[in-house]
Chain A
Amino acid sequence: MIRSLLNIYQYRELLLNLTLREIKVKYKQSVLGVLWAVIQPLSMMAVFTFIFSFLIKMPSDGIPYPIFSYTALLPWTFFAAALSFAIPSVVANASLVTKIYLPREIFPFSAILAAFFDFCIASVIFVFLMLFYRVPLSWNVLYLLPILVVQIFLTLGVGLFASALNVYYRDVKYILPLGLQLWMYASPVIYPISVVPEKIRVIYMLNPMSPIIDSYRKVLLLGTTPDFACLGFAAVVSLVVFVLGYKYFKKVEMSFADVI
């Protein structure tokens, strides 16, 4: 697997070009262009704020609800968009897969990178929200980087596994939107972890996205350190998912061209 990763490094230029292609193609012939990367999480935030702040009072750990939800929506949108691009990516490039040899993981990788680009754009809004609500920053904000790395490993693992599986079973494509929706409700995106009953908290935290999103809130909004036990567990899970996902991908990769 290490060898595969080194091999990818040799193909870095292609990875970059494919990512650029994803980004360019997505925003060509659209008037608002790259603004769409912002509109999506922003409108979700507006909807959730309306429902959970005006209609129903949802506790938000004393943080204004808009920024409370945006802090979670930002990484969640990245996660969901990355998977939605990555999982069909191998099948979408069937004409290349059957004709030229490339390390095939380059397709999900570039899809995830393109989603990361959107994530960066949408983060700009976050900075404005921070200023608007005058949320103070602490040094704990530096934990962002490891949290992001954990999330990316999880995304890569799930993306690799599911995109390979999608070559064999197109069911994956149909499960995807439903699965992502359920996964979102199973993660603390629209509500704080504190509303989850203590009794099921342990089970709840088995979902690696729960500690990941909770950690974003902790380091950005509350200015505290993340819950190291939970985040550490999520890191281990993510790494295992990544290794297994990658191994599975490489194992079945050579028969893609026969099946696709």
Chain B
Amino acid sequence: MKNNHAVIVDNVSKKYRLGELTYRTLRDDVVGFLRRKQKEERSFWALSDVSFQLKQGESIGIIGTNGAGKSTMLKILAGVTRPTSGSVEKRGKVGALIELSAGFHPELTGRENIYLYGSIIGLGKAYIKKRFDEIVDFSGLSQFIDTPIKKYSSGMYTRLGFSVTAHLDPDILLIDEVLSVGDFTFQGKCINKMLEYRKNGVSIIFVSHNLESVKKLCPKVILLQKGSVHKIGDAESVIEEYYRVNAINMKGECRGDELIDLLEARLYSEGNSDQFTFNSGENAVFKMRIRAKKQIKDVSFGLFLRNSDGMIIFDVSSNYNKVEHQLEEGQTIEIMFCLRLNLLKGLYHLGINIFGAEGNKAPEFIEYIDNLSTFMVKGNVPAKGIVNLEPKMMFKIESK
């Protein structure tokens, strides 16, 4: 192993047997053996030919959709399972922040669980004793520390778990999606803790869906797609690639309602044939054409945007302006929304809804498409977040 490497993953592949992933019963095997029938082996490669290296003190993020092989990779790194082929070399003590409450026992108190869990992840009793107050303090659970944890809420569980693991002293730290737990302030604490680890020269492998925190922690990111490495590079470009690859998959489908036909729906801007990338501040048009299959009264059209975390950041509808139409059977209507994309760099999803009443029935949602299209906003506004509030900064140093 080269001197400055903490982890070297070399052509790692992992095969799982499908259908027999679970345990067998003796009968199955005996019968199979007696019949001498070679069962056709249905297998599935969770990872194929994954290679990467992690230098000492470096942080690397692993991203990818569900089923891309992230968890399998972590399991192999943690030594829980072996790769089918290939090799993993690790230098130093590996600590894992993997799903936290696994080692807890509900009947035991918080205090007992801290010691028990500590010893599971390799912290000695003396060490925990020394840092006990610190651990409890970090969890913010000092009031409940002598209560059996079966009375804890799920958030308290994970906080306790993280607080113990956060006092690990590893050379290589594996982190799996832990930031999605706990409330906002606790998440902040966790991020700070990880930044502290990084500062102390711990090598970090971070698996997450939360791309913002990946970006924050890891300058280098690996994108896994269906078990193989799709791209390795700096966080910015790999995350952009992730968006691009998955935008196609995320595109919603029109349900083809019995009341309407969605003939056309697209987002575009003048002089832009690419309907995926827009510039921050650009004027864009969303156009759709709809044909009514039956008479629809009081119909209104809505459009909404979500950011990459799924939060609705903008929602507009013609009925907010009390504009409603009546469509006769077979009639077609064209709707245009002109939007100014005062958005910051990132990925956004566009959805629509159509509200109205069929004939004399009560009004209802005729169509609701959560994810009609996905687009990316590019730009060089030096700010983070969602909206561009067109910041200007002024400084004036006052004389003493």
Contact = CB atoms under 8 A, between A and B. Distances in A.
Interface string A140-173: 0000000000000000000000000001111100
A24 interface: yes
Contacts of B79: 101
Nearest to A98: B80
A171 B148 CA distance: 34
A178 to B, nearest CB: 14
B26 A100 contact: no
Contact of A96 (B24, B26, B103, B107): B103
B24 A13 contact: no
B265 interface: no
B82 interface: yes
B120 interface: yes
Contact of A254 (B82, B107, B115, B121): B82
Interface residues of B, number: 33
Interface of B: 16, 21-27, 29, 75, 78-82, 96, 98-99, 102-103, 105, 107-108, 112, 115-116, 119-122, 124-125, 148
Given A99-B98, A168-B23, A255-B82, 11 more contacts: A17-B120, A18-B119, A20-B116, A28-B108, A95-B103, A99-B75, A99-B80, A100-B120, A101-B79, A257-B80, A257-B81
Given A99-B96, A100-B98, A25 B105 contact: yes
A168 B25 CA distance: 7
Contact of B23 (A20, A28, A95, A259): A259
A24 to B, nearest CB: 7
A250 to B, nearest CB: 13
A169 B80 contact: no
Contacts of B21: 258-259
Contacts of A25: 105, 107-108
Contact of A169 (B24, B103, B148): B24
A99 B108 contact: no
Contacts of A169: 23-26, 29
A191 to B, nearest CB: 32
A171 B31 CA distance: 15
